[in-house]
Amino acid sequence: SLMGVKGLTIGYGTTENSPVTFLASPMDNMERKCETVGHIMDHLEAKIVDPTTGEVLPLGMKGEIMVRGYCVMLEYWGDPCKTNECITKDGWYKTGDIGSMDAYSYLRIDGRSKDMIIRGGENIYPAEIEQFLHTHPKVKEAQVVGVEDVRMGEEVCACIKLVDGQESSPEEIRAFCKGQISYFKIPRYVLFVTDYPLTITGKIQKHKLRDEAEKQLGLKERN
């Protein structure tokens, strides 16, 4: 109200898609604005596919988000290999993001496919755990990565920034999760950190965070 803005909306897209492909309406209710990134824009197509098989998934199921239409770039300049990796022969762009769509084409984002943790055959999306951990009153920020494990393949590791002046323990965090999220999503490891490795644009570098966590936990040497 101080800025004189009558309505807010939310959108989703990538640089490769010029950049907005999903957009909410200012008239959408608060639930849609908070839980989705809007619906597919006019004259564009979207689908959710199994990241491994490429099979189109039913509404409500999580998979890789793909987009097709006038917005998709022609190519990565001077990089045909990357172009062929990201754009199919029939024009679908692979976003690398994981999400699901409802019957009205509203999209919910669940994370990045490359960040997915595979623990004993279970696919785990870090964003789900991160969102839950943010509800803990002592947690300022949480990032979840998969770390190496001989028996399970990967284990869940939460790297947590605490609210200034607060103290916690791995046991407290795990107890908070118990009975609230699936047992296999409860972090086996909890590390308390003061910062995260960032790109020059301020994005968290999860591959570096994973490496730092494995080093701190001594998993490289152990495995």
Q: Which of 74-78, 118-122, 139-143, 164-168 has the lowest mean pLDDT?
A: 118-122
- Final residue of a domain: which of 56, 80, 110? 110
Instruction: Give yes or no: residues 194 and 123 share one domain.
Output: yes
Is residue 140 predicted with pLDDT exceeding 90?
yes
Query: Does residue 2 lie in a domain region?
Result: no
For residues 48 and 100, is the Cβ–Cβ distance under 8 A?
yes
Q: Which two tokens stand for residue 54?
A: 């490429």
Is residue 125 predicted with pLDDT exceeding 80?
yes
Query: Does residue 1 lie in a domain region?
Result: no
Of 196, 186, 123, nearest to 157 by C-alpha is 186
For residues 221 and 214, is the Cβ–Cβ distance under 8 A?
no
CATH of the domain at 72: 2.30.38.10
Instruction: Give yes or no: residues 124 and 97 share one domain.
Output: no
Q: Which residue has the tokens 């976003």?
A: 95
Domain count for the chain, please give it. 2
- Final residue of a domain: which of 95, 110, 125? 110
Query: Does residue 146 lie in a domain region?
Result: yes
Mean pLDDT, to the nearest integer, of 114-138? 94
pLDDT digits 0-9 by tens, 147-178: 999 999 999 999 999 999 999 999 999 999 99
Query: Does residue 128 lie in a domain region?
Result: yes
CATH of the domain at 203: 3.30.300.30
- Strand, coil or helix: what is 125? coil
Instruction: Give yes or no: residues 95 and 125 share one domain.
Output: no
Q: Which two tokens stand for residue 77?
A: 């300049």
State the pLDDT at residue 222.
Answer: 52
pLDDT digits 0-9 by tens, 60-107: 999 999 999 999 999 999 999 999 999 999 999 999 999 999 999 999
- Final residue of a domain: which of 61, 89, 110? 110
Helices 170-177 and 126-133, interaxial angle, to 10°?
100
- The parent domain of residue 53 ranges over 11-110
pLDDT digits 0-9 by tens, 29-72: 988 988 999 999 999 999 999 988 999 999 999 999 999 999 99
Is residue 200 predicted with pLDDT exceeding 80?
yes
**Tally of helices (H runs) and strands (E runs) in the chain:** 6, 12
How far out from the chain centre does Cα 221 lie? 29
State the pLDDT at residue 221.
Answer: 57
Calculate the average pLDDT of the chain. 94
Instruction: Give yes or no: residues 191 and 215 share one domain.
Output: yes
Query: Does residue 3 lie in a domain region?
Result: no
Q: Which of 94-98, 194-198, 216-220 has the lowest mean pLDDT?
A: 216-220
